[in-house]
Structure 1
Amino acid sequence: MFPRDFGESAMAYDDNNIFARILRGEIPCRKVYEDEHTLAFHDINPQAPVHVLVIPKGPYTDWNDFAARGSDTEIAALVRAVDVVAKQLGVVEDGFRVLSNIGVNGHQEVPHLHIHLFAGRRLGRMVPPAEA
């Protein structure tokens, strides 16, 4: 069992962020998967032939916040949802990328934890090499 003292998120949760509004049904989405703790849907601005977002239903700003405050059940559900979605979309055999941006330097745009699942082509290098 891990302690829940990972620290606080640097970003405040905004109840009116787009993902919170999608979860409340105020904004439609192209749903791929849903269970008690998670929702997965197609990104409205896809960066790959397959680009799905997987989010927890709870109000978590980012990975750090989720690790600190999420229940073991919620954390397991999110990880398993990514697996279910990848299998459902048929991308496991050829491979896929999972990405979660955190904070300003990580280029997080929406203050609700979300995991991008990219697939459908060779994705190439994710981050350029560090400068010497």
Structure 2
Amino acid sequence: MPSAAGGCVFCEIVKGEHQAHVVLDTGDAMAFLDNRPLFKGHTLLVPKQHHETLPDLPAELLAPLFGYAQRLAAAMEEALEAAGSFVAMNNRISQSVPHLHIHVVPRNRKDGLRGFFWPRTKYASEDEAAAYATRLREALNEFR
């Protein structure tokens, strides 16, 4: 596994050294709730190996990673009754953590998301965040 210089919070989450509400955990990827979500259920999908950007990702990980993103998008509609989803990735610019991550965000009409102005929200409690993670995990199991 390539190493992360300077300590990467996403690598720490993958190793279980940093707390996160995990939604998906496979041999090569992990998804967990964003701690500053656009909307509740906003999930970050990362390769377990540390790769900073999409161009750095080995070709053999591309299809599995985007397959998980596809499953997450479907799970959000099922588990969260979202009308759709927003799937996005930054490479270096606006990348708050230098570890490749895909944002999968539940969307509904008139939800307030316009262009690239992204208002952030918070979960009311750890219990509420855990409940969202559980709902998504359960829906993901249906999309295997």
Q: Same fold (TM over 0.5)?
A: yes
Q: Structure 2 matches for 1:1-132, cutoff 5 A?
A: 13-14=4-5, 16-66=7-57, 70-72=58-60, 74-90=61-77, 94-103=83-92, 106-121=93-108, 122=111, 123-126=113-116
CA RMSD of aligned residues (A): 2.2
Kindly state the Cα deviation for residue 109 of structure 1 after the two structures are TM-superposed. Answer: 1.5
Contact 1:13 1:111 in 2 (8 A): no
Kindly state the Cα deviation for residue 32 of structure 1 after the two structures are TM-superposed. Answer: 0.9
Q: Which has the higher helix share?
A: 2
Using the TM superposition, name which of 88-97 and 42-51 deviates more. 88-97
Unaligned runs of 5+ in 2: 118-144
Q: 1:39 to 1:15 in 2, by over 3 A?
A: farther
Identity within the alignment, %: 26
Deviations 1:3-39 (A, max 9, x none): xxxxxxxxx9426110010011101211111211110
Normalising by structure 2, what TM-score? 0.67
**Length, aligned pairs only:** 110
Q: Equivalents in 1 of 2:73, 2:29: separation in Å? A: 14
Normalising by structure 1, what TM-score? 0.73
Q: Equivalents in 1 of 2:52, 2:68: separation in Å? A: 18
Q: Equivalents in 2 of 1:30, 1:57: separation in Å? A: 16
Kindly state the Cα deviation for residue 101 of structure 1 after the two structures are TM-superposed. Answer: 1.1
Deviations 1:92-125 (A, max 9, x none): 972211111111xx21121110011111434332
